[in-house]
């Protein structure tokens, strides 16, 4: 129920209670009058008003019901205000994250066109990296919009999770090489089958790897390890360059960013997609300053045909 509908109900209640003033004793009429005035205050939008009516009769029950209605309306208003503020901040962050790589691409492209600089290969590498960042943000926005519109249809199919993890790590090889860190990869050689949407799974893995790189400033080791544990496959993405806050769960809320900034979409989208495929994503601080994000996906047994 929206607050506008609830206020309309309160207004109707005021009319109904007003009609009841002609009935009953003087005390009853006095109590009904207080309820009517309170309902009118709510209908005018004065949600701070409360009807104080002691007793345990029907009038007291009606007053308590209207007070509860006012509480619900007020809470909904506050929630909507906070949501609108978070959305405005998210749009501002997205605009910033779009503008930064676009500016870099434009600058390096102009330099190449004018024949400036003696390291065209480096310029092209920067352009490629910034283009990839734009593509990643665009994909996150696509998934966020489809999820919000309840218009995202996933198509589960047999997928070799080990191979998907390998491809994801290889896709970030240039960034990892440029970061000058030790990369430890532990992925089983055999097939590790899951049932998942290929595009969504790629987005999850890409978001986890890119998040670990982006927020791992100063890391010396980056690791991706996959293992079978019980009925699930676990994919752990770790780095030793960042620490998670005590309320790490907040990082999976849209618009909540880490110290390195960003839009706050990547982890939220990754978790939402994982949960839609019966998976999960957790985060935790480990020993020796290691931060680990873990994707869990149910193993599937697909017989060879």
Distance (Å) of CA 107 to CA 95, 143, 144, 178: 18, 30, 30, 21
pLDDT score for 160? 96
pLDDT tens per residue across span 168-208: 998 888 778 777 788 899 999 999 999 999 999 999 999 99
19: pLDDT strictly greater than 50:
no
pLDDT at 94 over 80: no
pLDDT, average across residues 58-76: 82
- Residue 283: pLDDT above 80? yes
Distance separating alpha carbons of residues 301 and 305, to the nearest angstrom: 12
Residue 4 contacts by C-beta under 8 Å, 6 or more apart in sequence? Answer: none
| Beta carbons of 300 and 195 less than 8 angstroms apart | yes
Least confident of 115-124, 165-174, 241-250: 241-250
pLDDT of residue 73: 83
Residue found under tokens 């009841």: 20
- If phi > 0 it is left, if psi is from -120 to 50 it is alpha, else beta; for residue 256 that is beta
- Among the listed ranges 64-68, 184-188, 192-196, 277-281, which one has the minimum average pLDDT value? 64-68
Residue 115 confidence (pLDDT) above 90: no
Overall CATH class of domain 157-298: alpha beta
DSSP 8-state symbol, 119: -
Rounded to 5°, the CA angle 273-213-258 comes to 70
Point out which residues pair with 280 in neighbouring strands: 296
Alpha-carbon dihedral 183, 188, 191, 197, rounded to 10 degrees: -40
* Rounded Cα–Cα distance for residues 142 and 189 (Å): 33
More confident residue, 9 or 279: 279
Region 141-158: mean pLDDT is: 85
Confidence band of 304 (pLDDT split at 50, 70, 90): very low
Place of tokens 């009517």: 36
The answer for residues whose C-beta is within 8 angstroms of residue 252's C-beta and 6 or more apart is 267, 268, 271, 281, 283
Instruction: Give the predicted TM-score (pTM) of the model.
Output: 0.64
Average confidence score pLDDT of the chain: 80
Q: Helices (H), strands (E): how many in the chain?
A: 8, 7
């Amino acid at each position: 129920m929206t607050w506008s509908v609830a206020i309309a109900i309160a207004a109707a209640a005021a009319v109904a209670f007003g009609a009841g003033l002609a009935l009953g004793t003087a005390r009853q009429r006095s109590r009904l009058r207080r309820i009517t005035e309170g309902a009118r205050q709510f209908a005018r939008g004065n949600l701070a008003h409360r009807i104080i009516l002691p007793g345990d009769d029907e009038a007291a029950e009606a007053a308590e019901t209207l007070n509860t209605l006012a509480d619900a309306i007020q809470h909904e208003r506050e929630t909507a205000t906070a949501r609108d503020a978070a959305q405005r901040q998210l749009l501002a962050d997205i605009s910033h994250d779009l503008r930064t790589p676009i500016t870099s691409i434009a600058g390096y492209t102009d330099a190449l066109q004018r024949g400036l600089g003696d390291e065209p290969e480096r310029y092209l590498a920067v352009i490629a990296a910034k283009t990839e960042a734009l593509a990643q943000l665009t994909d996150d926005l696509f998934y966020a919009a489809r999820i919000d519109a309840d218009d995202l249809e996933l198509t589960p199919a047999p997928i070799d999770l080990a191979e998907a993890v390998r491809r994801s790590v290889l896709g970030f090889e240039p960034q990892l090489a440029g970061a000058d860190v030790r990369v430890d990869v532990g992925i089983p050689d055999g097939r590790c089958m899951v049932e998942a949407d290929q595009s969504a799974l790629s987005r999850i893995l890409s978001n986890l790897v890119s998040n670990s790189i982006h927020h791992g400033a100063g890391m010396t080791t980056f690791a991706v390890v996959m293992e079978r544990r019980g009925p699930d496959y676990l994919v752990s993405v770790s780095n030793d360059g960042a620490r998670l806050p005590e309320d790490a769960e907040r990082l999976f809320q849209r618009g909540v960013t880490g110290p390195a900034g960003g839009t706050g979409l990547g982890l939220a989208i990754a978790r939402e997609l994982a949960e839609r495929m019966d998976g999960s994503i957790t985060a935790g601080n480990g020993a020796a300053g290691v931060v680990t994000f873990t994707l869990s996906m149910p193993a599937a047994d697909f017989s060879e045909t």
